[in-house]
Amino acid sequence: MTEREKMSSGQLYNPTDRRLMADRLRARMLADRYNRTRAFSFLKRARIIKKLFPNGGKNAFFEPSIRTEYGYNVTFGDNFYMNFDCQLLDVAPIAIGDNVLFGPRVVVATPCHPMLPEERRAYEHPDGFYDLEYAKPVEIGSDVWVAAGVTICGGVKIGSGSVIAAGSVVVRDIPPCVLAAGVPCKPIREITKKDGMFEALGITLPEGAKRYIKDI
C-alpha cells in the first residue's frame, strides 16, 4: 500500500513521502496561480480549478485566496460556492454535496495528530526521520450553508439542508435541516418554512409570483 493510499484511508502514514511532498507542492503552486488571477479571468480560473480539484461538479465558484493540501481528495457537487480565504485540508477525503455555500474563512481540517506528546514527536524510522500522522474524512450534505469563520474538524458529517452559524467549531455530527451553532457546535433548532426569507422580511408576494418560487 502506498503512503497516499494509507493517508486517504485514515491510516498512519509518512508525510515526508516524496510523492506526497510533490503532490502538496503541486497543489500549492496551482492555488498560488489561482490567487494571482484577475477577477475577470473566468476561463483561466476554471482551468486551474479543474486541475486542482478534478473531482468537482458544475458551476462552482471560488473566491481567492484558496488553500488546499492536495486537491484530489476533495469532491463537491454542482453549484458549490466558496467565499474568500477558505482552506480545505484534504489529507482525508472531503465530500461536499450540491448547492453548498461556504462563507469567508471557513476551514475544513481533516488532519489529526496524536494527543500524547511523545507520540507527536518526529523520530528516526528505517526510511527517514519524521512524525506519523493520520486523518479523518468530512462529509457535508447538499444545500448546506457554512457561515463565516467556521472550522469543521475531521471525522464529522453535516446533514443536508443545515446551517452552521458563524464562528462555530464542528467536532461532532450535525443532523439534517437544523440551525447549529457554538463551540463546540450543537443543533439549536430545526429549520422550518417559518424561516423563509420572504416571511422574515415581511414581504407578501402576489399570488402570480409564487409559481416562480419553488417550495414557497
In a domain? residue 102:
yes
In a domain? residue 99:
yes
Strands 145-146 and 101-102 come out as parallel
Q: Which residues pair with 107 in a beta bridge?
A: 87, 151
Predicted TM-score (pTM) of the model is: 0.91
Domain count of the chain? 1
In a domain? residue 208:
no
pLDDT tens string 154-170: 999 999 999 999 999 99
Range of the domain at 152: 3-191
Q: What is the percent of the chain where pLDDT is above 70? A: 94
In a domain? residue 25:
yes
The grid coordinates of residue 115 equal 494527543
In a domain? residue 203:
no
Domain of residue 18, CATH code: 2.160.10.10
In a domain? residue 206:
no
In a domain? residue 216:
no
Tell me the pLDDT of the chain averaged across its residues: 94
On the question of pLDDT at 195 being above 90, the answer is no
In this structure, are residues 35 and 53 in contact, taking their beta carbons and an 8 Å threshold? no
The catalytic site residues sit at 113
Of all helices (H) and strands (E), which one includes residue 61?
strand 61-62
pLDDT tens string 78-133: 999 999 999 999 999 999 999 999 999 999 999 999 999 999 999 898 888 999 99
